[in-house]
Amino acid sequence: MSFDIAKVRKAFPILHEQVYNKQLVYLDNAATTQKPQSVIDVLSEYYQKYNSNIHRGVHFLSSHCTEATETARKKVQLFLRAAHAREIIFTRGTTEAINLVAQTFSQDHLKKGDEVVITRMEHHSNIVPWQMACERYGAKLKVVDIHKNGSLDLESYENALTDKVKIVAFAHVSNTLGTINPVKEMIEVAHSKNIPVLVDGAQSVQHTPVNVQDLDADFYVFSGHKIYAPTGIGVLYGKEEWLEKLPPWQGGGEMIESVTFEKTTYNELPFKFEAGTPDYIGAIALGAAIDFVEKIGIEQISSYEDMLLRYATDKIKTIEGIEIIGNANRKSGVLSFVVDGVHPYDIGVLLDKTGIAVRTGNHCTQPLHDWYGIPGTVRASFAMYNTKEEIDYLMEKLEQVLSMLR
Ligand code: C6P
C-alpha cells in the first residue's frame, strides 16, 4: 500500500486552519502532534455516550469503559510488542512514567555511593527525576558524553558503566538533535554488566517501529500526545519481573487488594501502579491513535518522514550562515539550527507571522545547549502529515526572515 499524503492530511482537521489569514504550516510536532478526526471522535463519543468510571461499577457504562480501556492496553502491548498487557501501565505521559520508575526503583536499589547513568542529550524529564533520586539516597548522577555531531560517544558510555551503576536511562531519539541512539547495542552493553535500562521513547514511537522484547528494554516510556493521541495519557512499559519487584508508587483507590487501618495489600499488575481514577477515555483515545498509525503503517510513516527530513536538511544547507545542530548519521524527525548573529526567538516570531509553527529555545535540554554554547535553536520537527511543499514554504520564508534580521 502506498503512502497517500492527501488522505493522511484530510484526517487532521486542524491542518486546514489558518493563522493570521495564512495557511497553518505546523512544524512543531516534537512538542505535540495534531489529532486525527478518529481520535477526536472517540473523545466526544465516549463523553457523550459511555462515560463512567472503570473497574468500579457493575452497570453497563462502567463495564463498557472498563473493557474499552483494557482493549486499549492490549493495543499498546501489541504496538510495543510487549509480552503481556499487564506490563503496560497508563501514566499521564513520559514525565510521569520516568518519575514513577526513578522514585520506586531508587527506594530499594539506590544507596550512598551508587551511580545512575544518563546522557548529555537528555530532556529535563530524564535528568531531574534521577537527580532528585540521587540527592535523596546519596548516589551520583553520571553523564555520558556526545560527539559534536550529536551522536553518542559509545566509548564514554561503556566506560561509564562501572559496577557502582545501578540503572541507565537514555532517550531513544533526542528531541533536540534528532539523533537515534543505538538502543539495542546500548542495552546489550548494560545488561552484560547486569544494569537495567530505561528508554525514553517520547520521540521514537511515532516515527519508528519499536519492539521492547527485541530491544530487551527493562522500561520503555512514551507520551500519547506525541503520537496523535490526547494530552494527559502516556505509557510505562516495564518488564513484569521489574514491575513485580518495585514497590507501588502512589497510594489510593484501584492500586489496592484490601485495606484495613492496620495494613494494606496491593493489587496485581498493572493496577498496582495506577492509583486513583485514570484518564481512561484518554487511554481509549490512545488506542484509537494507535489504530490510526497502524492502519497507515509505522514502517511507511518512518520512510516518508525520513524522506522529509533528508529533503529539509539538503534544502536548509543551501541557506548561508545556517548551522544545523545535530548531524548524526542516524536521525529522526527533527531539524534544529542556529544562525550566526540572529537570535532563534526572533526567527520563530517572524516565521509565526507567515503561518509557520516552529519551536525556539532550549527544548527542555538546557545542559545540552550549554554544552554547545548556544542559548537555543530553532527547531522544525516533522510528522506524517507534513509535505515537501511545506518545507519549500519554510525555506522561502526563512530566507525572507533572515534577510530582515541580518
Ligand atoms: N518534549 C519537546 O518539545 P511529556 O511532557 O511528559 O509529554 O514529555 C517529556 C519529554 C521527555 N523526553 C523527551 C525526549 C521529550 O522530547 C519530551 C517532551 C517536548 O521537545 C516538550 S518539552
- E strand intervals along 189-263: 197-200, 219-223, 234-238, 256-259
Q: Is the CB of 125 under 6 A from ligand 1?
A: yes
| pLDDT confidence bin for 40, thresholds 50/70/90 | very high
Helix (H) or strand (E) holding 145: none
Distance 401 CA to ligand 1 centre (A): 28
Q: How many residues are given for the chain? A: 406
Q: What is the mean pLDDT of residues 76-102?
A: 98
pLDDT average, residue stretch 194-206:
98
Task: Inform me whether the pLDDT recorded for 56 exceeds 80.
Answer: no
Assigned C-alpha cell, 78 = 501489541
Contact 373, 293 (CB under 8 A): no
Closest-CA residue to 215 (of 251, 189, 239, 187):
187
Tell how far the Cα of 369 is from the centroid of ligand 1, in angstroms: 16
Q: Assess contact for 333 and 386: CB atoms under 8 A.
A: no
142 lines ligand 1 (CB under 6 A): no
Buried b (16+ CB within 10 A) or exposed e, 28-41: bbbebbbbbeebbe
Strands 322-325 and 264-266, by their bridges, are: unpaired
Task: Indicate if 364 belongs to the active site.
Answer: yes
Cis peptide before 270 (omega within 30 of 0): yes
Angle at 40 between CA 208 and CA 125, to 5 degrees: 50
Residue 123 beta carbon below 6 angstroms from any ligand 1 atom: yes
Closest atom, ligand 1, to C-alpha of 94: 6
379 lines ligand 1 (CB under 6 A): no
pLDDT in tens, 209-261: 999 999 999 999 999 999 999 999 999 999 999 999 999 999 999 999 999 99
State the average pLDDT over residues 128-150. Answer: 98
Shortest-distance atom of ligand 1 to CA 174: 14
At residue 325, φ and ψ (nearest 5 deg) are -100, 110
Residue 325 pLDDT greater than 70, yes or no: yes
Query: Ligand 1 pocket: which of 170, 203, 336 to mutate (most atoms <8 Å of CB)?
Result: 203
- Residue ranges per structural domain of the chain: 5-30+297-405, 41-294
93 lines ligand 1 (CB under 6 A): yes
What percent of the chain lies above the pLDDT cut of 70?
100
- The domain defined by 41-294 carries CATH number 3.40.640.10: yes
Mean pLDDT of 164-191: 98
pLDDT at 28: 98
Helix (H) / strand (E) element for 201: namely none
Distance 159 CA to ligand 1 centre (A): 28
Grid cell for residue 23: 495557511
Higher pLDDT, 162 or 2: 162
List 80, 215, 364, 391, catalytic entry: 364
What is the spatial distance between Cα 374 and Cα 12, in angstroms, rounded to a whole number? 35
Q: Is 364 in the pocket of ligand 1 (CB under 6 A)?
A: yes
| DSSP 8-state symbol, 123 | -
Residue 172 confidence (pLDDT) above 70: yes
Do residues 88 and 77 touch, judged by C-beta distance below 8 A?
Answer: yes
Ligand 1 pocket residue status of 29, Cβ below 6 Å: no
Q: Indicate the burial class of 63 (C-beta count within 10 angstroms; 0-12, 13-18, 19 or more).
A: middle
Residue 96, pLDDT score: 98
Residue 82 near residue 75 (C-beta atoms within 8 A): no
| pLDDT tens for each residue of 274-302 | 999 999 999 999 999 999 999 999 999 99
Alpha helices in 178-273 (DSSP H): 183-192, 212-215, 240-245
The CATH class, in words, for 5-30+297-405 is: alpha beta
Mean pLDDT of 311-316: 98
Q: To 5 degrees, how large is the angle CA 174–CA 24–CA 46?
A: 80
In the predicted structure, residue 57 carries a pLDDT above the cut 80: no
Residue 2: pLDDT band (50, 70, 90) is: confident
**Using 50, 70 and 90 to split pLDDT, how confident is the model at 1?**
low
Residues 15 and 10: their CA atoms lie apart, in Å, by: 8
Q: Looking at 51-65, 160-174, 354-368, which range is the least confident one?
A: 51-65
pLDDT score of 212: 98
pLDDT for residue 308:
98
| Pocket test residue of 29, 207, 223, 325 for ligand 1, highest count of atoms within 8 A of CB | 223
Of 172, 334, 364, the residue with max ligand 1 atoms within 8 A of its CB, to mutate for a pocket test, comes to 364
